[in-house]
Amino acid sequence: MFGDEIKALRRMGVRQALLQALNFATVLASGFMMWKGLGLITNNESPIVVVLSGSMEPAFYRGDLLFLTNPPNSPFQIGDITVYKLPGVDIPIVHRVIETHSAANNPLNQRLLTKGDNNVEDDIGLYNGLEWVERKHVIGKVRGFMPYIGYVTIAMNDFPWLKYALIGFLAVMGLFSRE
């Protein structure tokens, strides 16, 4: 099945194979550095997220890619779309701020109440015993989006074999390409 590829790898020699592996590692490291750099610029751990449910329709649909920022010195306003992650919950939630409460002496010390545009009720039931989303739970504020691009991520999460097949294909292509 992979006979021709194995022969090509043997003809390549150790030095050429190591060079190909180093090039592949460089591409991976570059992607990681760009992700971390984008996180530093936008002041959050996850500057890009994918919408996983229909709770924000018609503003965002499942599979939309959202671009986030987390301005440290700017309070959240009613109507802002935030992404927050609560303790004990693995998946971030994308919902709109419908109510804010700030301390009188520190307007940045906010507590937020959120709701999905397509939901009937607010999110208090999602807060796991908390009454409000606190600023420390907020990952970021949505600044832009690209429709449907995130379906690739959804497909890889729904079908894990697809993720491994793609990684394997890219690794094989990286090892056997001569350029």
Rounded to whole angstroms, the Cα distance separating 108 from 131 reads 18
Helix ranges, 43-159 (H): 151-158
Active site residue 95: yes
4, 46, 90, 95: the active-site residue:
95
**Structure letter (DSSP) for residue 102:** E
Catalytic residue among 4, 46, 53, 55: 55
Please tell me the distance from the alpha carbon of residue 154 to that of residue 173, in angstroms, as a whole number.
24
**Residue 163 to residue 155: CA distance in whole angstroms:** 8
Q: Indicate if 55 belongs to the active site.
A: yes
Q: Catalytic: which of 123, 137, 158, 177?
A: 123
74 is known as an active-site residue: no
Catalytic residues: 55, 95, 123
